[in-house]
Amino acid sequence: MEKYHKFLAAALLFIVASCAVITVNIYFPEKDVKEAYKNLEKELMGADKNTQDKKPESRPQGRPEGKPESSIRFELVTPAYAQEPGLADKISEIVKKMPDVVAAYKEIGARLPEIDKVQDRGAVGEGNDGLLAVREGPLSPAEKQLVDMMNEDRRTIMRGMAKAIIRINRAPETQENLKQVIPQATGQFASIRRDSAKKGWWIQEPNGNWTKK
């Protein structure tokens, strides 16, 4: 009977451990992410044709599959890449291998002249969530559709950047890890949108306040 209880306890421990989710502390290189965003915009939105001749950096690491979730979490710290040279380029190369993100950049580039007109008159502004927000509407049906499409493409880009950071960390691409990184990827994207906004456009600061640039 005692052996049976020991066997049962060991079996239960194995089952619980096999269902545990591994929580990884994802290193987020803010400076390199911001540079990667800018490089991708220049290349994929057609602002700089010469960047297409740039030699790719190292091949991104394959991603392991996530494990089923449970109430048990093991904390792992991944290697830091703060001192790694060319990290922004490596991040860019990973993103450029995501067809949906590449398409999103190109679609945004094609729609810029239209959306600029809407922002010029103050109808929409740059939100701190990286999305366009209505400010001095109303919008016409065509303009609303334009804003919706732009925001959908922006979500695709921010999510793609989060995935790239997870892969750079050689971490599992789980929903939990995405939830950890997406807010940071969003913050950097929104920061670039504020920096590139024209004078007179509405921008939302990280604290939530709206001002005209």
pLDDT tens digits, residue range 43-62? 998 754 333 333 334 434 44
Alpha helical stretches, state H, the chain: 2-18, 30-44, 87-95, 99-120, 141-168, 175-196
**DSSP-assigned beta bridge partners for residue 124:** 134
What value does the CA radius of gyration of the chain take, rounded to a whole number of Å?
Answer: 22
CA–CA distance, 200 with 186 (Å, rounded to integer):
23
From the CB of residue 207, how many other CB atoms can be counted at a distance below 10 Å? 6
Residue 81 scores a pLDDT above 60 = no
pLDDT tens digits along 106-158? 999 999 999 999 999 999 999 999 999 999 989 999 999 999 999 999 999 99
For residue 154, the model assigns a pLDDT of 98
Q: What is the pTM (predicted TM-score) of this model?
A: 0.74
CA angle 20, 25, 28 (to 5 degrees): 145
Return the structure tokens found at 191: 């920061």
DSSP, collapsed to helix, strand or coil, labels residue 29 as coil
| CA-to-CA separations, 104 to 29, 95, 99, 116, 152, in angstroms, rounded | 23, 11, 9, 17, 8
pLDDT averaged over every residue in the chain? 81
Return the structure tokens found at 162: 């989060």
Residue 77 scores a pLDDT above 70 = no
Residue 183 scores a pLDDT above 70 = yes
